[in-house]
Structure 1
Amino acid sequence: MNNSHTAEDILIREDKDGAVYLTLNRPSKFNTLSENMLIALQRELDAIAADPAVRCVVIGGNGRGFCAGHDLREMRANPDQAYYQELFRSCSRVMQSVVNLPVPVIAKVQGMATAAGCQLVASCDLAIAAQSASFAVSGINVGLFCSTPAVALSRNITAKRAFDMLVTGHFIDADKALEWGLLSDVTEDDGLENLVADKVAQILSKSPSAVRFGKAMFHTQRQMALADAYDFAGNVMAENMMSPDAAEGIDAFLDKRTPTWEQPGR
């Protein structure tokens, strides 16, 4: 295990067996996405993207909440439109970097995830929440429509449900978030760590190259017309078939043995 920390420990990184755990660490502020938090997140995401040894990422938050979105006090201290444009561009880069990482990203959610915090959950490939977690895009309550969170939210749940949340600011609980498609799993509060660990272990047990092929293909094909998506997916699958892991995996299946995957970067 190798521990490393980012500026002022507002974001804690832990590396373990090919998985990277990023923990938002402003518990007294409900882990709001301050300028420094966004800079720290972007720095780590860029480093992870360039590291072939990383196979999975988990994003969590310390304290009673996952993430309460942007730091409203910091925003009000800088009443300038150009400042706000750059802030939201910075946040959008972080969210797109999560989507564009070559490995799966899991949101581990306890407590509340609101506004850009809900956006972060929606941007992750998988999201596992404690039963007591709650979700909202509540900017409307302070006179600010959550426009950038709407982009990620509306790609997870139906348009009418997303707009309802955006225009009312109301919270939904973990069970409803699971039913609507914002979450992939819900567990009792004391089972969150174990369920996330089990999901990470499942991912780490698979071929690293196949997972990377798959994540890149999955998000790209979603933006395509049906015929184009099939053409693209077929080409990716053919390329995947030429990988050593595919040969090893199929041979192992036929030989009734456990495959031994390549470990890039090791």
Structure 2
Amino acid sequence: MKKLLRRLDERGVLWATLNRPERRNAVDYDMMDEFEQLIHEIKHLPHVKALVITGAGDAFCAGGDLQQFHALRTTEEAYPMLQRMGTVLYDLMLLPVPTIALLNGTAVGGGCEIASACDYRFAAHTATVGFVQGNLAITTGWGGAAMLLEKVRHDEAMTLLCSARRFTAHDAKDLGFIQEVFLDDVMLSCDKWIEEMLIPRAEVLRAYKESAARRWEATGLRERMVQEIRQCAQLWEGEAHHEAVAAFFRR
């Protein structure tokens, strides 16, 4: 079963759906494989003019799959996984087309990091979002803090990160993380927004996005993300993290 479903519409908008609803669309190694393939293909498909990422079922993404990743105990074991997904999100952030995270439901932990890599974040009015990694005694592990600090004001980013709490879609909009909250069908609402806002041809949209990508490259975003990932890997092997994960599984 595909864990990242795709549909390319007649306008050149690619709709990608995280497809592990039984695990609240948590990211595992197979989904990383499909993310890498998707990004590679979009880079080489000039007729694609935008990417929308959403989730199957009632969640956007619950972050990394703890059932798969809890076996990683040390810094040396955790770092390759964290670094690999960090590379995926760096490539997503610099993808040469406008990108939209369509939060159809809950986005927590790494789910918010995926959303941070996108140019736009839209949410259902029932969605909740939270950089909750601090509750597991770790930081954002895929470079999410560095990306978030590029997208919202410093104090807003610090509130989202340091509180480690969940916010309603409307509160997240007030903090600058969400651009639009949809009261009606999120897919139709997003489709309407695309119809009204992404007017130019694909090559024009790509040129604008490449201007943004050049800025992020010039400011050393990649290295800042790598440093952040290394910090998370160091915290990963701490007893506080392993105790928090054990408590999570006992719930």
Measure the CA separation in 2 of the matches of 1:10 and 1:24: 6
Give RMSD over aligned pairs: 1.9
Measure the CA separation in 1 of the matches of 2:86 and 2:27: 12
**Counterpart of 1:172 in structure 2: which amino acid?**
F
Unaligned runs of 5+ in 1: 1-7, 226-266
Counterpart among 16, 20, 26 of residue 14 in structure 2 = 20
Corresponding position: 1:183 with 2:182: no
**Residue number in structure 2 paired with 1:10:** 3
Go from structure 1 to structure 2 and tell me whether the alpha carbon gap of 1:35 and 1:204 turns closer, same or farther (over 3 Å shift): same
- The 8 Å contact of residues 127 and 182 in structure 1, kept in 2 or not, is answered as yes
Divergent runs of 4+, >4 A? 222-225
TM-score normalised over the length of structure 1: 0.76
- The 8 Å contact of residues 134 and 172 in structure 1, kept in 2 or not, is answered as yes
TM-score normalised over the length of structure 2: 0.80
Measure the CA separation in 1 of the matches of 2:135 and 2:4: 28
Go from structure 1 to structure 2 and tell me whether the alpha carbon gap of 1:140 and 1:220 turns closer, same or farther (over 3 Å shift): same
> How far apart are residue 221 of structure 1 and its match?
3.4
- The 8 Å contact of residues 128 and 185 in structure 1, kept in 2 or not, is answered as yes
Counterpart among 97, 116, 122 of residue 122 in structure 1 = 116
**Counterpart of 1:12 in structure 2: which amino acid?**
L
> How far apart are residue 159 of structure 1 and its match?
2.4
Measure the CA separation in 2 of the matches of 1:95 and 1:130: 23
Corresponding position: 1:202 with 2:206: no
**Counterpart of 2:120 in structure 1: which amino acid?**
L
**SS in structure 2 of the partner of residue 51 of structure 1:** coil
Measure the CA separation in 2 of the matches of 1:199 and 1:39: 30
**SS in structure 1 of the partner of residue 30 of structure 2:** helix
Structure with larger RCO (C-alpha < 8 A, sep 6+): 2
**SS in structure 2 of the partner of residue 178 of structure 1:** helix
**Counterpart of 1:182 in structure 2: which amino acid?**
F
Q: Which has the larger radius of gyration?
A: 1
